[in-house]
């Protein structure tokens, strides 16, 4: 966790002044090598069921494509039987590393997105196959979180450090929300059983902080945890019936402070589906459109946390033949 150095004051000012970039993180601020990954869809003629097929493809920022030939397009159950669900995959926010399940044995592996040897993760991370698992890769590709949602084999999520093999278990039942900008923390939501939920920040080194946020924060569809391990960017959904634009607010899990926030110059139905704080302190948000059978158009925005003003950092499309796709940071 990087500690902020800003003096006490408005939370937005503290965030902007205190999330300085460390010298070793300069490479993370460079343009992402990979934008997204997608896998094609096929249709079973008899049942008209669609399923993922072929190879995962990585979309490079320079317009090129990389084929992940050893990445499984589908998941498997505990017996190794094929499940019609897209194979486990996640791209680091810097676009330079990718996590996926290997076709030949469905073990999870991490490797550089542009190629190179893969690090095979322990079988213990997926003891009952990859069905009912969701994976997350940290912004620099050095940590992995595996979340389990199998009621027949309840299990706590595991935060795993690739280089050391150290793992930290998260309480069973917490809903994962994502890594902090430096990958040292992970944000989750926890149901408190009284119609409220808490935000919990877990540290890879051990320990956590927890706070029950206001309802407007708890109900937000998209959140992102900053490198300080406590500041959360909260994207409040727009309302088409009331013609309300999506709104950005900042919430401090340590103190409970919540900024008034600012409206985003987006259509009410264009709430960002994903967001990340980057290592240089910038906040990015992803807005995508595209119905089934049509190409998806993805816009990556750089957002001012204080004013809500944004610029378009990137724009690209994903094939209309996709079964699903994941952007960098997902």
11-327, superfamily in CATH? TolB, C-terminal domain (2.120.10.30)
Q: Is the pLDDT of residue 8 over 90?
A: no
Residue 166: pLDDT band (50, 70, 90) is very high
- pLDDT tens for 183-209 read 999 999 999 988 899 999 999 998 999
pLDDT reported for residue 154? 83
Reading across the β-sheet that carries 274-277, which strands appear in turn?
274-277, 283-289, 296-303, 310-318
pLDDT by residue (tens digit) across 136-159? 999 999 999 999 998 887 889 999
The model's pTM is 0.89
Q: How much is the pLDDT for 22?
A: 39
How is residue 268 written in tokens? 């009410």
- How many angstroms separate the CA atoms of 212 and 191, rounded? 10
Task: Give 58's strand partners.
Answer: 37, 66
pLDDT average, residue stretch 240-256: 97
pLDDT reported for residue 330 = 87
């Amino acid at each position: 966790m990087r500690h902020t150095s800003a003096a006490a004051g408005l939370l937005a000012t503290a965030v902007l002044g205190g999330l300085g970039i460390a010298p070793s993180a300069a490479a993370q601020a460079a343009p992402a090598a990979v934008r997204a990954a997608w896998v094609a869809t096929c249709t079973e003629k008899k049942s008209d069921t669609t399923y993922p097929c072929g190879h995962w493809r990585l979309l490079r920022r320079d317009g090129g494509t990389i084929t992940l030939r050893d990445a499984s397009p589908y998941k498997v159950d505990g017996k190794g039987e094929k499940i019609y669900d897209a194979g486990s995959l996640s791209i680091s926010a810097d676009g330079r590393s990718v996590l996926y399940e290997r076709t030949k044995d469905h073990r999870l592996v991490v490797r550089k997105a542009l190629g190179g040897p893969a690090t095979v993760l322990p079988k213990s991370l997926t003891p009952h196959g990859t069905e009912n698992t969701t994976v997350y890769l940290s912004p620099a590709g050095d940590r992995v979180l595996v979340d389990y949602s199998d009621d027949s084999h309840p299990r706590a999520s595991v935060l795993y450090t690739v280089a050391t093999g150290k793992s930290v278990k998260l309480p069973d039942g917490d809903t994962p929300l994502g890594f902090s900008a430096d990958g040292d923390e992970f944000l989750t939501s926890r149901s408190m059983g009284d119609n409220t939920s808490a935000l919990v920040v877990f540290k890879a080194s051990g320990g956590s902080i927890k706070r029950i946020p206001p309802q407007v924060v708890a109900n937000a569809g998209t959140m992102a945890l900053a490198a300080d391990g406590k500041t959360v960017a909260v994207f409040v959904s727009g309302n088409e019936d009331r013609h309300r634009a999506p709104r950005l607010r900042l919430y401090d899990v340590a103190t409970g402070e919540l900024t008034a926030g600012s409206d985003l110059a987006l259509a009410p139905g264009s709430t960002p589906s994903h967001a990340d704080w980057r290592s240089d302190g910038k906040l990015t948000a992803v807005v995508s459109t595209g119905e089934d059978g049509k190409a998806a158009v993805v816009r990556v925005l750089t957002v001012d946390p204080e004013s809500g003003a944004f610029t378009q950092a990137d724009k690209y499309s994903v094939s209309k033949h996709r079964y699903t796709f994941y952007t960098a940071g997902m």
